[in-house]
Amino acid sequence: MEPSVILYEEIRFMAKTGQTYQYIVADSILGNLQDEYSLSEQEYYRIYVFYVTYSMCGTQSAKKRTFKDYGWTSESVKNTAIGDALTTELSLNRNANFIFTNKDDLATQFASHNFPDGLLEDVDIERAVIARTSESNNHLKLFYRIRDGFAHGKFKLRLSTSSEKMVVIQDDNRHNVTARIVLKLSTILGFIDVVDINGLV
């Protein structure tokens, strides 16, 4: 599917669900932040192959892969081996630092989770506020927004105060913010290790 079609579908979906959080471009959490480290060639390759080229989410890729493609027996993450494996890497259920909201409360959630407009200063804590997507579980909803961040270059590579490699992502469509995310690089790569038991990446 063409990027313009994907963007149109997401805008229409957001409008339909009543979720909006408009901002001025200059107030992006990415702003003029500079990368503080670089991805290795292998890291870059693995991230783009897994999250972008073979995205597991919706209609983001004509080359879409599923959990079964990667070697799992189920597409469900509820009470399954793949669900347990993903939770071991990062538990998203009842995790107060990761909000998946279907309500028109993005402004409140961004404020509550230290995602104010403007350059993001706090990159020490993994957290995310993610607007509604059509994905069936929270891990795929997170993968969806990670994909958008890397596909559209809306990410920065920052170091925490303890020099942990972190990734800051803002997903948006024509000034309407749909996600703000801070994750360890090791978490983003760890999801690939967990899912890809067939060694496809």
pLDDT per residue as tens digits for the range 122-138? 999 999 999 998 898 99
| pTM, 2 dp | 0.87
**Better pLDDT: 32 or 171:** 171
- What's the pLDDT score for residue 171? 93
- What's the pLDDT score for residue 59? 86
**Better pLDDT: 132 or 11:** 132
200 in any annotated domain: no
201 in any annotated domain: no
Q: Are 106 and 20 in contact (CB under 8 A)?
A: yes
Report d(CA 103, CA 179) in Å as an integer. Answer: 13
Tokens linked to 146: 């990670």
Residue among 134, 148, 147 at smallest CA distance from 102: 134
Mean pLDDT value across residues 166-181 = 91
Measured between its terminal Cα atoms, the distance across the chain in Å is 22
Report d(CA 138, CA 176) in Å as an integer. Answer: 21
Q: Inform me whether the pLDDT recorded for 6 exceeds 60.
A: no
Report d(CA 197, CA 193) in Å as an integer. Answer: 7
Domain span at residue 134? 3-195
Report d(CA 51, CA 181) in Å as an integer. Answer: 15
Q: Inform me whether the pLDDT recorded for 78 exceeds 80.
A: yes
Mean pLDDT value across residues 2-28 = 58
CA distances from 176 to 18, 27, 148, 171 (A): 12, 12, 14, 9
Mean pLDDT value across residues 102-111 = 92
- What's the pLDDT score for residue 18? 64
- What's the pLDDT score for residue 12? 46
151 in any annotated domain: yes
Point out the least confidently predicted range of 3-17, 79-93, 99-113, 143-157: 3-17
- The total of structural domains in the chain comes to 1
Mean pLDDT value across residues 52-78 = 95
Radius of gyration of the chain (CA): 16
